[in-house]
């Protein structure tokens, strides 16, 4: 018997599973092994899903489980789709009615499934969607769109909105993820649209694959040029090579070409870029303004003309493909809540453990469970923002999993470098003014983040602290604000970075009048994740110290990296093998054993939720 939930159509033996490991069968029934179990249940603003043209700024309840029907290279959700044990005690068990109650209690106007694919928990999601619709709530999801026609028939009548992630326009692109062809996805996009479901489409922009995005745009235009297309600049995490990351400048050029085919094209993962804003396709006026809000996310800002009567452009009267009203107040998520920053938090915990020599995923899951079950995610967020608190966290995690000696070795290494730098700064009177940007010059990283702590630890004055900075991981500021800060040195974040030449040209194009630009003191760190998210920040600290006080510090940072990798990762350091993963120190990193997606103890679960093939 074949599974008819997704188009992979896995053959399910009696009591066995398919590729995703999340469904089995008993007789002629497909059963879900982990029903009604949620890793995340929290309110979000809809743009963090992300969805841009549906009830802008609206407050929705995010639900996420674990697992996926695909296995994509460089998956930003790998922590929850590949590594989190779906039987973990970190999950919340709630009935569909309890999920809906949570949405109502939090004044949410709807429920949305995201971060992992609803096809991984299809039967659970169907029940939640039915309960939500019965209470008058809106329902939607983000999905890879690999629904069979049978499963699509089941879900399409329950959805108000959907974000479909297209992996490419070739069989090769889908075979890399475990699929076969994009045909089912394209079919489903058209069916969703024709059925009145609000559809937005997302796609990954990486080097060498832009032609497929142009073909996708042509396909969407044949359905409707008003379908919003979200271009996600690729973040090379997990095993993905850093060379696949397209520059912001080239991604912006692609967006301009796509805009010739479609009326609404947005560029994500490009801090400081203007292409998250909604412009009227008729007259070009700014309707809704948004800012970068972490990986794959955006945040609605109070600017632009807004929507006129019947969601028309207030200036020219053109009807805009935006459904619903704009929220009067945009919901502000908590630390690590709302969309993909949660997965970054798990990866940061993983980073500490891997630097202790951990190679078993179950030990990582134990730490995740300790933090999540004890409501310590907020504390973890605060503790990783300062070097000393970070070191304390290392020792704490080491104690929890019985690796005190390895934790102590890592902690002492970091402390020794801190003390060495502190000693070198004892006679320093003047601290240069330093600005930390992400992506483009106008995107200011929050003053309290670790990057700015490293600047101050290295003997600089963080001018970012002089900006009342909201957002995540910061916000766009005006060039006038940046000129008022007048930094002498600028560092570009090693996460979602930008080539120095591109960054410098942006400064010149904007006629940015600051000392750092005049003297060309603009710097990238030698490798990704050397200033945030990983114990490798100590390598970034040494580099920053060299730049800020070249007369005092002369660290051979690449030599130190070789020592660090050998001592704490047991591998050779290679710049060409690095990526943007906080946790994984290289593209070639492998776990000792892969997690078992199927655990025992499923009898109660199997009886709780099942759906026969005929019901689909």
Q: What is the CATH number of the domain that holds 78?
A: 3.20.20.70
pLDDT exceeds 60 at position 34: yes
**Mean of the per-residue pLDDT values for the chain?**
94
406 shares its domain with 486: no
Query: What is the predicted pLDDT for the residue at 338?
Result: 87
Query: What is the predicted pLDDT for the residue at 28?
Result: 87
Is residue 588 one of the residues assigned to a domain? Answer: no
pLDDT tens sequence across 198-220 = 999 999 999 988 999 999 999 99
Q: What is the mean pLDDT of residues 230-258?
A: 95
Lowest-confidence segment of 102-106, 202-206, 452-456, 589-593 by average pLDDT: 589-593
Q: Could you identify the residue written with the tokens 């632009």?
A: 304
3-class DSSP state of 164: strand
Is residue 601 one of the residues assigned to a domain? Answer: no
pLDDT tens sequence across 384-400 = 999 999 999 999 999 99
User: What percent of the chain stands above pLDDT 70?
Assistant: 96
Query: What is the predicted pLDDT for the residue at 595?
Result: 44
Query: What is the predicted pLDDT for the residue at 335?
Result: 86
97 shares its domain with 141: yes
- CA gap 487, 481 in Å, rounded: 11
418 shares its domain with 537: no
pLDDT tens sequence across 133-186 = 999 999 999 999 999 999 999 999 999 999 999 999 999 999 999 999 999 999
Q: Single out the residue in 424, 451, 485 at which a domain terminates.
A: 424
- CA gap 440, 429 in Å, rounded: 31
Query: What is the predicted pLDDT for the residue at 16?
Result: 86
Judging by DSSP bridges, how do beta strands 229-233 and 265-268 pair with one another?
parallel
Query: What is the predicted pLDDT for the residue at 613?
Result: 32
Is residue 486 one of the residues assigned to a domain? Answer: yes
pLDDT exceeds 70 at position 479: yes
Q: What is the mean pLDDT of residues 1-11?
A: 95
Is residue 525 one of the residues assigned to a domain? Answer: yes
377 shares its domain with 413: yes
Largest CA distance in the chain: 78
- Please tell me the pTM assigned to this model: 0.94
Q: What is the mean pLDDT of residues 9-31?
A: 92
Query: What is the predicted pLDDT for the residue at 49?
Result: 96
Query: What is the predicted pLDDT for the residue at 536?
Result: 98
**Taking the CA of residue 7 as centre, how many other CA atoms within 13 Å lie in the half-sphere pointing to its CB?**
21
Q: Single out the residue in 400, 424, 448 at which a domain terminates.
A: 424
Count structural domains, the chain.
Answer: 3
Query: What is the predicted pLDDT for the residue at 518?
Result: 98
Residue pair 187/156 in contact by the 8 Å Cβ criterion: no
438 shares its domain with 402: no
Q: Phi and psi for 117 in degrees, rounded to 5?
A: -80, 135
Lowest-confidence segment of 45-54, 117-126, 503-512, 584-593 by average pLDDT: 584-593
**223 exposure class (CB count in 10 Å sphere: 0-12, 13-18, 19+):** middle
Q: Directed axis angle between helix 404-424 and helix 387-400, to 10°?
A: 170
pLDDT tens sequence across 67-101 = 999 999 899 999 999 999 999 999 999 999 999 99
For residue 1, what pLDDT band results from cuts at 50, 70 and 90? confident
Spell 348-377 as b/e; 16+ CB within 10 A means b: bbbbbbbbbebeebebbbbbbbbbbeeeeb
127 shares its domain with 209: yes
- CA gap 3, 25 in Å, rounded: 9
Q: What is the mean pLDDT of residues 498-504?
A: 97
63 shares its domain with 168: yes
pLDDT exceeds 70 at position 189: yes
CA distances from 154 to 31, 126, 616 (A): 16, 8, 6
pLDDT exceeds 80 at position 516: yes
Is residue 526 one of the residues assigned to a domain? Answer: yes
518 shares its domain with 445: yes
For residue 126, what pLDDT band results from cuts at 50, 70 and 90? very high
pLDDT exceeds 70 at position 522: yes
pLDDT exceeds 90 at position 15: no
Query: What is the predicted pLDDT for the residue at 14?
Result: 87
**Any residues with CB less than 8 A from the CB of 77 and at least 6 apart, and which?**
68, 115, 116, 340, 343
517 shares its domain with 542: yes
Query: What is the predicted pLDDT for the residue at 5?
Result: 97
Q: Among 204, 198, 207, 206, which Cα is nearest to 216's?
A: 204
pLDDT exceeds 80 at position 611: no
Query: What is the predicted pLDDT for the residue at 602?
Result: 35
Residue numbers of the domain that contains 470: 433-558
Is residue 578 one of the residues assigned to a domain? Answer: no
414 shares its domain with 447: no
Query: What is the predicted pLDDT for the residue at 471?
Result: 86
393 shares its domain with 483: no
137 shares its domain with 262: yes
pLDDT tens sequence across 581-608 = 999 999 999 999 754 433 333 333 332 3
- CA gap 379, 213 in Å, rounded: 41
Q: Single out the residue in 404, 424, 444 at which a domain terminates.
A: 424
Is residue 45 one of the residues assigned to a domain? Answer: yes
Query: What is the predicted pLDDT for the residue at 603?
Result: 34
Is residue 245 one of the residues assigned to a domain? Answer: no
3-class DSSP state of 262: coil
**383 exposure class (CB count in 10 Å sphere: 0-12, 13-18, 19+):** middle
């Amino acid at each position: 018997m074949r599974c008819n939930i997704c188009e992979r159509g896995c053959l399910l033996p009696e009591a066995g599973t398919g590729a995703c490991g999340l469904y089995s069968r008993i007789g002629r029934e497909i059963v879900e092994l982990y029903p009604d179990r949620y890793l995340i249940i929290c309110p979000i603003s809809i743009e963090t899903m992300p969805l841009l043209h549906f009830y802008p700024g609206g407050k929705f309840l995010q639900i996420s489980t674990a697992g996926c029907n695909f296995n994509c290279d460089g998956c930003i959700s790998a922590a929850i789709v590949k590594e989190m044990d779906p039987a973990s005690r970190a999950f919340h068990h709630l009935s569909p009615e309890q999920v809906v109650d949570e949405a109502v209690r939090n004044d949410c106007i709807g429920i949305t499934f995201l971060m992992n694919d609803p096809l991984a928990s299809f039967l659970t999601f169907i029940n939640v969607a039915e309960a939500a619709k019965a209470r008058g709530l809106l329902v939607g999801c983000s999905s890879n769109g690999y629904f069979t026609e049978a499963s699509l028939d089941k879900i399409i009548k329950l959805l108000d909105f959907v974000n479909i992630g297209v992996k490419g326009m070739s069989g090769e692109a889908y075979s890399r993820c475990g699929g076969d062809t994009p045909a089912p996805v394209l079919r489903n996009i058209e069916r969703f649209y024709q059925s009145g479901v609000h559809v937005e489409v997302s796609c990954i922009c990486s080097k060498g694959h832009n032609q497929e995005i142009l073909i996708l745009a042509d396909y969407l235009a044949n359905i409707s040029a008003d379908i919003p297309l979200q271009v996600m600049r690729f973040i090379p995490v997990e095993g993905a090579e850093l060379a696949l990351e397209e520059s912001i400048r080239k991604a912006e050029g692609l967006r301009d070409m796509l805009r010739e085919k479609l009326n609404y094209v947005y560029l994500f993962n490009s801090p400081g870029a203007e292409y998250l804003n909604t412009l009227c396709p008729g007259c070009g006026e700014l309707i809704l303004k948004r800012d970068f809000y972490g990986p794959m996310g955006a945040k609605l800002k109070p600017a632009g003309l807004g929507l006129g009567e019947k969601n028309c452009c207030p200036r020219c009267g053109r009807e805009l493909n935006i459904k619903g009203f704009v929220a009067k107040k945009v919901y502000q998520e908590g630390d690590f809540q709302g969309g993909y920053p949660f997965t970054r938090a798990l990866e940061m915990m993983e980073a500490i453990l891997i630097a202790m020599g951990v190679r078993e995923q179950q030990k990582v899951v134990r730490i995740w469970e300790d933090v999540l079950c004890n409501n310590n995610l907020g504390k973890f967020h605060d503790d990783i923002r300062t070097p000393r608190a970070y070191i304390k966290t290392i020792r704490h995690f080491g104690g929890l999993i019985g690796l005190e000696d390895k934790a102590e070795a890592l902690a002492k290494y970091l402390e020794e470098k801190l003390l060495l730098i502190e000693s070198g700064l004892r006679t320093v009177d003047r601290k240069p003014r330093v600005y930390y940007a992400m992506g483009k010059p106008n995107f200011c990283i929050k003053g309290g983040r670790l990057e700015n702590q490293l600047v101050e630890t290295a003997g600089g004055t963080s001018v970012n602290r002089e900006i009342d900075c909201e957002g995540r991981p910061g916000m766009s500021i005006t060039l006038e604000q940046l000129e008022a800060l007048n930094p002498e040195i600028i560092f570009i974040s090693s996460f979602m970075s930008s080539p120095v030449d591109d960054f410098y040209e942006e400064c010149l194009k904007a006629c940015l009048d600051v000392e750092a630009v005049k003297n060309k003191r603009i710097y990238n760190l030698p490798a990704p994740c050397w200033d945030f998210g990983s114990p490798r920040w100590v390598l970034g600290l040494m580099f920053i110290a060299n730049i800020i006080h070249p007369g005092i510090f002369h660290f051979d940072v690449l030599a130190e990296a070789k020592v660090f990798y050998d001592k704490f990762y047991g591998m050779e350091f290679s710049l060409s093998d690095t990526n943007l993963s906080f946790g994984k120190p290289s593209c070639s990193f492998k776990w000792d054993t892969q997690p078992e997606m199927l655990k025992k103890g499923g009898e109660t679960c199997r009886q709780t939720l099942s759906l026969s093939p005929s019901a689909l």
